[in-house]
Amino acid sequence: MKLQALVIDDSGVMRKMVMKSLTEAKLAEFEFAEAEDGQIALDKLKTGDFDIAFVDWNMPNMTGIDFVKEARKHLRMEGEDAIPMVMVTSEKTIGKIQEALDEAGADGFISKPFTVPELQHKLKKHVDKAQIIRMRKNRAKQQASAAAQRICHEAVHARGHSGKTAASGDHRRHSGAC
């Protein structure tokens, strides 16, 4: 199962480094989308289907902290699961870590520079949570699809037996309408 990951950093080099390191960490198979600031990331989040986000702190237009706050608000309003959001930043003070985790609502915090073993250790629980959320989303989609198919088939079957069709073979012809 591939996880849809949103990597947000104003530095293209850093985005590539984060994606490469996550791939090397082998915590999951990722499909990445990139954003160069929090506003672009928020726009992508609103139209995409992401499982986890890796967020830089200091970016133009919208900081990582503001992105996390706005993303949390958006996901709550949409009734969607709160995806894991991990700050990946050069900020290292306890006050900054507390701001990210407690005030903004980030799930985790990785300081730059980082190593692959550090990512493996610090991100495992967040990636596991993202995989659970993805499984729930997939199951909900499958159930919705199955329910829609069932309703469609019942409607086609009802039409076929309502006397509105010319011949009994019409039911077979209409069954592909679902």
User: pLDDT truncated to tens, each residue of the chain (178 aa)?
Assistant: 899 999 999 999 999 999 999 999 999 999 999 999 999 999 999 998 999 999 999 999 999 999 999 999 998 888 887 899 999 988 777 888 888 888 888 999 999 999 999 999 999 999 999 999 889 888 888 887 777 787 877 777 777 665 454 444 444 444 456 6
| Superfamily per CATH, domain 2-139 | Response regulator (3.40.50.2300)
Q: How would you list the strands of the sheet with 108-111, edge to edge?
A: 29-35, 2-8, 52-55, 85-89, 108-111
Residues contacting residue 99 through CB under 8 Å, at least 6 positions apart: 65
Domain boundaries, the chain: 2-139, 145-177
Cβ atoms of 85 and 101 within 8 Å: the answer is: no
